[in-house]
Chain A
């Protein structure tokens, strides 16, 4: 299917239709983590996957490179999940650009998207000029976002797409796009490991032609879930048992809910802990809890079966805290607070209070960005700087237990081995990690049929797909299955990327289109004798039949079985015919003739000799016209031997036999073009045959 860029293929490219080139261009997340945004174009359809920001920057600098594309040509924008690096530039893209396509995301994503971005706008402390969008833009964008359920197939302008569960966070989806039979899978962030509430990423039923896959974890391997959870609960249990406090700094949404589930369950199984409170201190998480309590159907069977008894997201041992003022620090407790990086806010306030007591513990539950305090304390320095600028000894225990829900190397390679896509495009990964992953994947697919690409931002990957166009011939045309050499003529109806060929009579049966016949009746004032008209018509047209109208007894003339000329009254005659170009022409000439009769009576002289002579002249004229038209089309046309025309285009030469219309050329494409052009010219300059059938 995919053609490589060898020189032979290159030469053929100009002949192939433009639409068969498939382009994938990361506008963000190419060799980087953050601001996911991948543009794809195939056969005139344009799709954008994700629309994120880079959380490390602010203002315009955080956006993907939108100026690389024309937003107005994007047909569909698909958002995989609600994280900022996948969805946060959406309000900007919807409200501040010329984009006019359709946007899709899952129900849960849409519900959380609004809460999360509203919170983001409030929290981000940037100047008004740097603000990409405000709350108003978010609310407006909500009306434009359409929802899609998992597995639901949606078709927009011939682009078919549906989504699979991706794990990672609630509502996260992988999109499979099908354009004219070529399938592209965009994984977004995914995880093949089932956890406490999320399903593992599904393995799509169909193998895609291109797989655009995340590479966040690179070649790392995760610890088994059981060990992670055991370490987590053990640390907490032993700390609170010794009278210490546990701080878990975490991003408000996504993994935090998983950790809360673990804690709630652990507490339920350990009655001795019931007097020790667990708090989660994030108003945002509290708001989103309603979403988690509702979209139970997107979660795994385990949660759903628990739901049969009671909603697992209605925690029994965990309570919410709105601010630090509500918190009374009186003994052992577990607090989960945002932000995850301990930059500022509630988690930092607690950290400052608790860091010097060695009974306390801090658990870092996931990937931390360089430069944050959380990243610093993983290396267990002796002292830390507090928010007020003082330094304090770091005595509390610090544990790093990763609960990140990105696929690790084992999952990625299994996933790809099952799907075996011929083209793999790696995005959303740090450049070095990505290269390591690419090298290692190469060893997994040694047969050389798999291409692995790691485009940088704005770097396009081009692929060529020779999709076969299949048409279905239906109805009358298909009553007999034709043999080789038979001709098939009919109306070709294209809808999306499906083609049907049918007889004009069947058009209304098999499509929503309909055909029409337009009957025209025109009356012309004419006061002469009808016989004159009949006579004159007989002189000009080949077949003229006279008859008498049965009702009125008035004479009728039918010209070429197309146009009926009828005497309506003493003063009028009428012309009636069914519209088509030839009949229109015939009727026009009859009208002209009738008008001329009334004006004057020209003499019609039969000039036999002139006719013969003009025959030859006509031949010459025709030849001249053909030559001139060919020159205007192909430029270099010379008269060759045997009366053949020699046409040369870009070093390719074609010989055209004017008599038979045969073309000889080594270049297939040129031959075809000359042949078609010659046919068309011939049908234009030769007299129109009147009998259509």
Chain B
């Protein structure tokens, strides 16, 4: 009957930890998001590690660490090997976010949880979908259709709809119903009555969103105030998510006011980020794509923002007040942390937070009220080795290399024996050596000479070491030399060769500096020292998170009115608050599972399918109501030729049924309708509508609930016996369909 649906959170319930939820639909396991936080604590991923290998598909929603940060680690260490589905921007910007995270970490620690290669390989098997693309899964997932839809919040951000047999499971976290500069609002409201809605209660208690217009003014005023007195402004931002909106605001404002203060966007991947974003116009708001279509004006051709990929460029920038957007937003790593430490003790400077810092990070600490006067910060730096350390390191490396070489030669010997033994006529006796040489060069760089000498051991079992000699005899037959047609086929690859040279690494788009950092194999070490930083600069927090606030969350859920609701990702209070609210007024089935607690949200809906026979349908008269049509049917169950259940007309006259009035009466609309018919009409107290002199009309019963979930409407019409009464009654009837 129903499709079985189970939800069990792996992280991110009753707190603000990264998001990661396991949803199993008829035994097919979806991992919804695979997040990590800026602290990269592997213990957070323990629940995931227990189920990673059983996961069949991963769906990603947003391109930030909280939603996809654990992907490389889970793929490498936890045995996650399922295909990953995401939109193109989530894939691309997510990849850049991970690069930035890795490179920032690598600068300050011996980060070994994953490497750039792990990131590349994790993102290589991402299947990219477009919004509203219905993707039919195959294999065990046969019959399941997944589709990403617009979520707002971040570029490419998605809410996922998973459908099986008409049952819809909707996963919507961090959506934004408001339209922003570069993003459209979510389309979550267009889903009506899904079987299950999994959503976050993150902002359930936060209802104080100021008008975006006022907020922008305040934001820009705060920045310009500090710039004008000669201070610097630091905005700790994420790598490729919300920062795009901030860049647009600044860019627009700078062109309007013709400011000359420079703006710098500093992450390890800033230039690639903007390059990609420029080609993602189809994912952005209608106004951005419209302006491009009509005037070819790409909003992300930033004229006032300088993209920087390393800190030296910023240090070399002309002195004077400037705005710097730098990652990470948490101030735990990245350029933002360094800059913060440098700038914190100047009271003219401003650190402007645009989002709530992750729990337990420096940013969160600074956002507390009142802000701390001093913070203790551990600053780490990667420095090249020098002097004795370097010598010791080199000796160690040499020793390792020698060992490696010895092992390689042994292996080679084995191989040589193995290959030469049975196949003495091998036409290329030298091949083993060339291969080994090649390998050695590849992995050990400049040390290869030693190894060539070390490694060149004559194969002990060979018959006689000699240079290869080929007897160049060609085969002839009666038509002449035998030709192998393959030799003359023009190979297709040839024409792409040039491009491929230029193309190089397919996925690993990195800036040159980054690349140099990556390839920088100079021995180095990390040194740390603790600093006490005096925080004398101004600290301001403004909400540019781009999430729906509590009130809109409630009205959105009420509009969607799912049959069952699962709440995740919020503090305990917020979760409890929203749960109570929904239980009271939206739907009776609200769940807020704890970590690794499995809730069964299989719908208890009964349904079966029948075929409607032509005979039946030819006698049905539909009445149009909104975008659907309704009719009453009396029918009898029969069988079609193919043994399917089929509805046929009744053989005998149907028993009369209780008449049903179908329609949704809005008092306000009805009032206008009556007025247009010339009836004097006004609202009396208590929601009653006075029509004419005597007749009153009111709605009784529970009325506070929206979405039609409250059951049938009760309308009471009363008045004395008079003509008006019957007139109003006729008008009222005209608003309904009688079935």
A294 in contact with B609 (CB, 8 Å): no
Q: Which of the candidate stretches B380-388, B403-411, B709-717 sits at the interface with the other chain?
A: B709-717
Which single member of B279, B492, B496, B509 contacts A294 (CB below 8 Å)?
A: B279
CA distance A283 to B290 in the complex (A): 22
Residue of B nearest to A503 (CB): B660
How far apart are B703's CB and chain A's nearest CB, in angstroms?
Answer: 12
A516 in contact with B713 (CB, 8 Å): yes
Given contacts A470-B611, A489-B633, A490-B633, contact A513 B129 (CB under 8 A): no
The 0/1 profile, CB within 8 Å of A marked 1, for residues 707-739 of chain B is 011111111111111000100010011001011
B660 — which chain A residues lie within 8 A by C-beta? 491, 504, 507, 515
A517 in contact with B661 (CB, 8 Å): yes
Which single member of A290, A306, A469, A517 contacts B612 (CB below 8 Å)?
A: A469
Instruction: Give chain B interface residues in 388-441, CB to chain A under 8 Å.
Output: none
* A110 adjacent to chain B (CB < 8 Å): yes
How far apart are A657's CB and chain B's nearest CB, in angstroms?
Answer: 14
Which single member of A162, A266, A513 contacts B708 (CB below 8 Å)?
A: A513
A517 in contact with B88 (CB, 8 Å): no
CA distance A115 to B292 in the complex (A): 12
Which single member of B280, B492, B498 contacts A297 (CB below 8 Å)?
A: B280
New A-B pairs, 5, CB < 8 Å, besides A266-B498, A489-B635, A519-B714: A147-B289, A149-B133, A297-B280, A472-B166, A672-B649
| Number of A-B contacts defined by CB within 8 Å | 310
* B658 adjacent to chain A (CB < 8 Å): yes
B713 in contact with A471 (CB, 8 Å): no
The 0/1 profile, CB within 8 Å of A marked 1, for residues 8-52 of chain B is 000000000000000000000000000000000000000000000
Residue of B nearest to A310 (CB): B502
B129 — which chain A residues lie within 8 A by C-beta? 151
* A154 adjacent to chain B (CB < 8 Å): yes
B133 in contact with A521 (CB, 8 Å): no
A308 in contact with B507 (CB, 8 Å): yes
Residue of A nearest to B638 (CB): A484
How far apart are A256's CB and chain B's nearest CB, in angstroms?
Answer: 17
B656 in contact with A689 (CB, 8 Å): yes
B505 in contact with A308 (CB, 8 Å): yes
* A13 adjacent to chain B (CB < 8 Å): no
How far apart are A649's CB and chain B's nearest CB, in angstroms?
Answer: 16
Which single member of A111, A518, A521 contacts B293 (CB below 8 Å)?
A: A111
Which single member of A139, A473, A508, A524 contacts B608 (CB below 8 Å)?
A: A473
* B610 adjacent to chain A (CB < 8 Å): yes
* B111 adjacent to chain A (CB < 8 Å): no
B659 — which chain A residues lie within 8 A by C-beta? 580-582
How far apart are B612's CB and chain A's nearest CB, in angstroms?
Answer: 4
How far apart are B549's CB and chain A's nearest CB, in angstroms?
Answer: 26
Which single member of A512, A525, A595 contacts B192 (CB below 8 Å)?
A: A512
CA distance A484 to B609 in the complex (A): 14
29 CB-based A-B contacts, threshold 8 Å: A149-B131, A149-B282, A153-B132, A153-B133, A154-B132, A287-B296, A290-B298, A294-B278, A294-B281, A302-B496, A468-B611, A469-B617, A470-B612, A473-B607, A478-B607, A479-B606, A484-B638, A501-B633, A507-B660, A513-B628, A513-B663, A514-B664, A516-B661, A516-B714, A520-B717, A522-B718, A524-B721, A672-B618, A692-B658
* A17 adjacent to chain B (CB < 8 Å): yes
A295 in contact with B279 (CB, 8 Å): yes
CA distance A151 to B507 in the complex (A): 24
How far apart are B563's CB and chain A's nearest CB, in angstroms?
Answer: 8
How far apart are A268's CB and chain B's nearest CB, in angstroms?
Answer: 7
Please report whether the interface of chain B is mostly helix, strand, loop or mixed according to DSSP: mixed
CA distance A473 to B609 in the complex (A): 6
A495 in contact with B498 (CB, 8 Å): no
Q: A interface vs B, CB < 8 Å?
A: 16-17, 107, 110-111, 114-115, 139, 142, 147, 149-154, 162, 196, 205, 225-227, 229-230, 265-266, 268-269, 287, 290-291, 293-297, 302, 305-309, 311, 468-476, 478-479, 481-495, 499, 501, 504-505, 507-525, 579-582, 591, 595, 661, 672, 676, 679, 682-683, 689, 692-693
CA distance A485 to B652 in the complex (A): 12
**How many chain B residues touch the partner (CB < 8 A)?**
111
Given contacts A153-B132, A519-B717, A580-B658, contact A107 B637 (CB under 8 A): no
B633 in contact with A488 (CB, 8 Å): yes
B618 — which chain A residues lie within 8 A by C-beta? 17, 672
> 3 tightest CB-CB pairs across the interface, nearest first?
A308-B509, A521-B718, A151-B133
A17 — which chain B residues lie within 8 A by C-beta? 614, 617-618
Given contacts A111-B292, A290-B296, A487-B634, contact A229 B661 (CB under 8 A): no
Residue of B nearest to A287 (CB): B296
B193 — which chain A residues lie within 8 A by C-beta? 509-510, 512
How far apart are A313's CB and chain B's nearest CB, in angstroms?
Answer: 10
A515 in contact with B615 (CB, 8 Å): no
The 0/1 profile, CB within 8 Å of A marked 1, for residues 628-667 of chain B is 1111111111110000010101101111111111111100
Residue of B nearest to A583 (CB): B659
CA distance A319 to B78 in the complex (A): 52
A478 — which chain B residues lie within 8 A by C-beta? 606-608
B710 — which chain A residues lie within 8 A by C-beta? 508
* B320 adjacent to chain A (CB < 8 Å): no
A661 — which chain B residues lie within 8 A by C-beta? 652-653
How far apart are B108's CB and chain A's nearest CB, in angstroms?
Answer: 27
A291 — which chain B residues lie within 8 A by C-beta? 296
A142 in contact with B279 (CB, 8 Å): no
A306 — which chain B residues lie within 8 A by C-beta? 499, 502-503
Which single member of A307, A470, A491, A580 contacts B609 (CB below 8 Å)?
A: A470
Given contacts A487-B635, A515-B661, A522-B725, contact A493 B630 (CB under 8 A): yes
* B495 adjacent to chain A (CB < 8 Å): yes
Residue of A nearest to B658 (CB): A692
Instruction: Give chain B interface residues in 205-241, CB to chain A under 8 Å.
Output: none
Residue of A nearest to B652 (CB): A661
A114 in contact with B708 (CB, 8 Å): no
CA distance A302 to B504 in the complex (A): 11
B130 — which chain A residues lie within 8 A by C-beta? 149-152
B293 in contact with A508 (CB, 8 Å): no
B718 — which chain A residues lie within 8 A by C-beta? 520-523
Given contacts A478-B606, A516-B661, A518-B715, contact A487 B637 (CB under 8 A): yes
Which single member of B275, B615, B637 contacts A486 (CB below 8 Å)?
A: B637
* B584 adjacent to chain A (CB < 8 Å): no
* B627 adjacent to chain A (CB < 8 Å): yes
